[in-house]
Structure 1
Amino acid sequence: MFLFFILSMLCFDFIDVSVAIDTITSTQFIKDPETLSSKSGNFTLGFFSPENSTNRYVGIWWQPQFTVVSVLNRDQPLKDSSGVVKISDDGNDLVVLNGKKEVIWTSDVPNITTNSSSILLDSGNLVLVEGTTGKTIWESFEHPSNVMLPNMKLTGNKITGEKVKLTSWKTPFDPSIGSFTLSVERLLIPEVFIWNETRPYWRTGPWNGKIFTGVPNMKTHYLSGIRVIDDGEGNVLFFEITTDTVGLIIYNLTSEGNCEEKWWDEKKKEWKQTSNVHETECDIYGVCGTFASCNSQNSPICSCLKGFEPKNKEEWNRQNWTEGCVRRTPLQQCERERNQNTSADKKADGFLKLQMVKVPDFADGSSLTLSSDTCRNQCLENCSCVAYSYDADIGCMSWSGNLVDIQQFSNGGLYLYIRVAHTELDKERNITVIIIITVIAGTVLVLACAYIMWRRISNKHARNRSGSAIGELSQVKLQELLLFDLGKLATATNNFHSSNRLGQGGFGPVYKGTMHDGQEIAVKRLSKSSGQGQAEFMNEVAVISKLQHRNLVRLLGCCVEGEEKMLIYEYMPNKSLDVFLFDTSKSKILDWCKRFSIIEGIARGLLYLHRDSRLKIIHRDLKPSNILLDNELNPKISDFGMARIFGGNEDQENTRRVVGTYGYMSPEYAMQGLFSDKSDVFSFGVLLLEIISGRRNSKFYDCENSLTLLGFVWIQWTEDNILSLIDPEIYDPIHYKYMFRSIHIGLLCVQEFSIDRPTMAAVTSMLNSEILDLPPPKKPAFILRQNMLSSLSSDENNDGLHSINLVSISDLQGR
């Protein structure tokens, strides 16, 4: 009997455990901390607490790497671990109860059944099904949180106006409903919008049946199959379809209003961010106001459309573009209609063409039945029509109100035709004629001087060619930047008070300032005693004013009054990377995922400088103190005072003036004055090894072997003692192979000979691909500390040569 009792209990336990772990029934429920799993095990329903919070929420998360994709009780958190998820007593609803058995959340289904059950599907969808028919009566996909999963449909109803939309978290650690929503809008010509409360914040541009025409990188960067369809019942559906070959792709609406596309890398068991909607300032809705276009490649980014001028020129010159632009010349055809003047001497209006743009918001409608010519004529005959666009897949679109949120692309987009008075067309033709004449005259002049120029250039060193490129760009017109008033900067920084001082750069201090409108800025004040600062100041203006990238610090403007010369940047609240990396109390904040994200961001920024920007730029002073961190600890490369611009097909240059910071300079640059993009690669390699090890190269001392950090890393690598290289604060066996691979990449970057180092394009590929085989590293440069110091000696007396490497060296004669 005793054995029978034991076996019975075992069988009972077995039955209880094996009952549909993906299902909640009237007799089966879960209580904190129990969980429910989908059959595949990829999705889990259960209780969780966000970071830095004791509140308990019922959520669905991606199990392979804890990623919350849905939260049920977003605005009704549980205050303790007494929560229960069950079918309601009447068998009709799925409910969440607190310890007092009070309902804090319910699916709120109309009372149509008494025998329902809830199932967590392999898609991540939690469904409530009617017991007898199996019909789905409620599903979490129709009540999404901040994450869009494959086959989850965001809808807009043309008749009722009802929408299924994403809503952001309030903060990264608070799942309650935040300020941003993502929804399908403009249902006749569908677009996807992100809203900040009730204000539009970003939009995709019109859907043409294949892509969103206002997302130029959609063809290459979007891995999933996006669909927008009309179901014929008044609903417009926006969803994605993925295949097994692509894997899971999600869209995450962040608490800051960004929408990130993430792809699950099954091999690495981690998320890869493949795109996000806010790459530049131009992605913010209507940033330039009405009748203006935004181009992130220009400085300033906003310009009035042809035929228009700033409504408030003073504010426009201050880069306050909110008032937008107004028409320079009234439309003559409309003027005639209003005045009933049919004078033949007044010519008809016409259109100026814009290419590769995100067309404006608020199109009046579209028609596939009209041809391009008919579309143009129809707009011309309608006095209220101010612009039109024609796309073979969308048809004819026209606009009658203010044109807002136009963005200029370098590829993709649509043609937009702006209606202007005939006199504006004449101006355009005159400009074209002037350009043609100028080009012809310039060509003749070039041919006449070609021989002389060839003689001069052939006799000059490559240094002169590059220096001449810098010389031209150093004459940048300061009025093209926002000029800040010295008095206002003094007020913003409390008269440059020491309490506002953020740090000391190579050529002067940097202060935090707060403008009268609340904007926070960083002011780099050129030291009056710096004999070399003028060139660096002009160089930084010339270089950074031409650059736009999410991983480069943004120059807001400058101030040049009397002897004062200042550069004004966006303020980075988390200061620089070294503040976190080499501080034992702060380094814990930088876990491995965050450090790897910083490494990737720096690599992307350098790749942009070396290859993707309009100018090839060598930074020459890459180090942790020149990597600034924003609110989310995203890296931004700063301090371009020592950068050099390469012209034409130049790949390498020689200089007698070696600048930079010892410990980060490549050997060919430090000892011979030769620099190229591989010089930055060397600095990046040192920086990468510092990030992983948590040790500063310039402060690393191995008294027994006189090793530099590079020497120490090399010895441990050859002895297969990798663990000793990894900062204990970030070590995790799960991520070990990625740390190992990153150290391998770092060693490849610090090879002694530049030809052995990879390019930044190769580095970014190696960082993001586990498939690529890495070549074995060779012994790096600067293994021994005394060798490095002796190699860097010069004829001049450099007292600071043996000091800790926190400042930039601005004048050294290379030998």
Structure 2
Amino acid sequence: SSLYAGKHPSSWPSSSGYFRFGFYPQGNGYSVGIWLVGRSENTTVWTANRDDPPVSSNATLEFTTQGRLLLRTEDGMEKIIANLTMSVSVDAASMSDTGNFMLYQNRTVVWESFNFPTDTILGGQNLSGSHNMLISSVSRSNHSSGPYLLRMQDDGNLVAYANNPAELDPSDAYWATMTNGWYFSVLNLNERGVLAMYSSPKFHQEKVLANLSATGNETMIIYRATLDPDGNFRLYSHQLERNTISHKWQILNDECDAKGQCGLNSYCSSRGKDTECYCYPGFTFIDENTKSLGCSQNFTIDGCAARKDLVIHYNITTLDNMSWAGDPYSVKPNLEKEDCKKACQEDCSCGGVLYSDPKSCRMYRLPLKYGKRHGNITTTAFIKFILGSTISPPPETSQILISEGNQSLILTMGLSLGSVTSLCFVIAICSFLLYRHRVQNYEKLSENKSSVLTEQFTLRSFTFDELDEATHGFQDELGKGSFGTVYKGILPGDGKSKTIAVKRLKKVNAGETDQLRTEMTVIGRTNHRNLVRLLGFCVEGSRKLLVYEYLGNGSLAYFLFNMNKRPVWKERARIALDVAK
């Protein structure tokens, strides 16, 4: 059995004649599908291989003896209409009065068009499982895949999206039943006109979206729910006896809510039932006849990547009651309107700004996506566009003309300047070497003095850092005299520390250093029970210190003149004799 695109028979009717399966005109050729027969216009409800180009009038559709439904084109190409496993052999086909085209094997349905919906479901048809979505047509006359999708999701939500179904993004959603977690898994339109979502048999939940159940004697009604080319999901009733089509229910009251109506860099504006697409100021439609392609600027200059000598001139236009989708690349809080506009003007990345109270300035890059303008939107938009560009003049450079007469003068001055520079360099090197030699001699002199003192008497040579640490930074002062100040300190030892008295001498000049050295030699060699013992010294540059053993009872002066513990005259006489020895 065969059907022919350009001659009779071109289709197989249902028993009532309300539905037909076969070739129907589309574009400049024919497509294979199912349609509801109308008195003035047919309504296509399913298309096979919808994204294939139309075939010529010489194409045939053959139901082969091997049980295959094949489309043969004029150039000999074959296209399978129904995908079946190799083990299945079809022996019958029928077009039902419900609009379902079915293939049978031994009176068992092995394939049906209801399982592969395009943009429409009919009474008795479901969206569920792996066949859970509708994709809109490009237009009412072009049934190729369009830009909108309705999906019965696994999370129990029925969601409408703009964009390709293979690239679904939550930001592309524009309508949803908001029934997440209710376990709905099936969208069903029954033959009485009830459109509802159902859960699996385990949960027995139901949510009715629309109920158009017929009343009275009007039984000849066919219901269909279609995701139309404008992105609105509508429920229709076809009264067959009257041959009328009525639109009964829809998901969107404002058609501009369907994202993508007007394409990139444009916005949708609605007044009542009328909607219109507009380009932003400074932009023009890519194709006036297909406004869904969006708009573009006349200038394609990237402000951030423009040549440095290129001056780009911008203008900013204000549009009230505007919104668009996407995430801003920058949000600047607490800015007044004019400051927000200025921030976009000065930012080469900024293509548009949405300003809303309280003082929120959100900056976006181009292209601007899903624009919408409506009176109930309180956001103000600033659109920046390029007016043109100019090339900035290069900086003026003065030219110096050199004649042959003064070339020798320039050469002489150059040589003289070079000689002076070299001489200054040599003087600097010699000065540095002389300074370093004197520093080394001074360091050797300090070392020699310390070594001589050590060799002349058995005193310990301390470093300044050792004594600074022993006295905790010279904090505990014991007394002060005309030659210096005495501090208490503690020297660490092998298992036992030693308390000392450190006398930090005032500045000693070069002549007094030799005298100090002589006194240290005498005191260091003297061992008298009435004299405090000198333990060591420190000589580091101008810093000179003497280290004595510490007397816990204080000095002789303290004993003699202490009002509380003054010694008797006999004891005083003994002390005087001992000192004189």
Bin of the TM-score, shorter chain as denominator length: 0.3 to 0.5
Larger Rg: 2
How does the TM-score come out when normalised to structure 1? 0.29
Q: Report the structure, 1 or 2, having the larger helix content.
A: 1
User: TM-score normalized by structure 2?
Assistant: 0.40
